[in-house]
Amino acid sequence: MKTILRMLAFCSLVFLLVYLLGGVFICQSQRQTEQSAILLNSTIDRISLHIDGSATWYAETRYLLTDENATKAFLQIFWGKETKLQEFANSTMGLVNYAKTKTGRDMEATNFAIGMSFEYSQTVSYGLVKYQYDWLGFAKIEGKRIVMGDALWWSRYLYLRPETRDAFIVEYPSGYIIIDTSPPPDYHKESERTLEWYGYRNFSEYKPSVVLEERTFTILDTLRENLPIVIGGITMISASFVGLWFYRSKRKKEIEALVSSMSSPLEMKSEEDKVIELLKAAGGSSYQSTITKHCGFSKAKTSMLLTSMEIRGIVMRKKQGREKVVTLLKS
pLDDT along the chain (331 residues), means of 10: 49 42 39 41 87 93 84 82 88 90 91 89 84 94 91 63 75 92 87 84 73 79 69 81 76 57 54 89 90 88 87 89 88 57
**In this predicted structure, what is the pLDDT of residue 215?**
83
- CB–CB of 281/311 below 8 Å? no
Residue 8's pLDDT is: 46
Give the distance between the most distant pair of CA atoms in the chain. 164
The SS3 call for residue 217 is coil
Paired with 197 in beta bridges are: 168
Specify the pLDDT at position 194.
93
CA pair distance 107, 217, nearest whole angstrom: 32
* pLDDT (0 to 100) of residue 154: 62
pLDDT on residue 220: 67
Could you tell me the end-to-end alpha-carbon distance of the chain, in angstroms, rounded to an integer? 164
Range 36-216 classified under CATH 1.25.40: no
Asked whether the CA dihedral 185, 189, 195, 197 is positive or negative, the reply is negative
pLDDT of amino acid 38: 42
Q: Which CATH number fits domain 265-328: 1.20.120.1200, 1.20.1050.10, 3.40.50.300, 1.10.10.10?
A: 1.10.10.10
Question: What is the C-alpha separation between 164 and 110, in angstroms, rounded?
Answer: 30
pTM above 0.85, yes or no: no
Element (H or E) spanning 167, and its range? Answer: strand 167-171
| Secondary element (H or E) of residue 318 | strand 315-320
Nearest to 168 by CA among 41, 44, 42, 40: 44
CA 16 to chain centre: 67
pLDDT at 134: 96
